[in-house]
Structure 1
């Protein structure tokens, strides 16, 4: 489903690892797919889950973190969802 989305930005993975810093509080998250449209808009699809073995995975559309640092990655954007715990991930 994620690879079949219009304007899908990358190949969807079947296994996910949490993107947050080790020891964070709250649910785990991993970017599952981005839709990057020619008009400059985008949609970020995130896999979310509590602790391993506790409950089912969820797929959510969440806003991306608004933090920027142009010298750290191609787009200059933090690669976590908005309101994430811990440091930004460039």
Structure 2
């Protein structure tokens, strides 16, 4: 389903590792797909699962608005908005 989305960016994978810092509180997340449209809008699809893992869900969540401006870079953080721990570039 995720590979067939209009404007899909990534090749999807079946195994996901949490993107957050080791030892974080709460659920685990992994970016599963992005849709980057010609009108500069996007949707980020995340796989989310509890700790310990028992099931997962797929959700479209807003991306973290932080940029790596302090690194002289305009890259966006690769986590969902409101994530625990440090930003990831």
TM over 0.5: yes
- Partner of 2:12, secondary structure, is coil
CA RMSD, aligned part only?
1.4
- State the Cα distance separating 1:52 from its structure 2 match: 3.3
Q: Structure 1: 5+ residue runs without aligned partners? A: none
1:56-67 equivalences in 2 (<5 Å): 56-67=55-66
- TM-score, structure 1 as length reference: 0.91
**Residue equivalent to 2:6:** 6
Q: Structure 2: 5+ residue runs without aligned partners? A: none
- Equivalent pairs counted in the alignment come to 88
- Partner of 1:14, secondary structure, is coil
- TM-score, structure 2 as length reference: 0.92
- Work out the CA distance in 1 between the residues paired with 2:87 and 2:44: 16
- Partner of 1:7, secondary structure, is coil
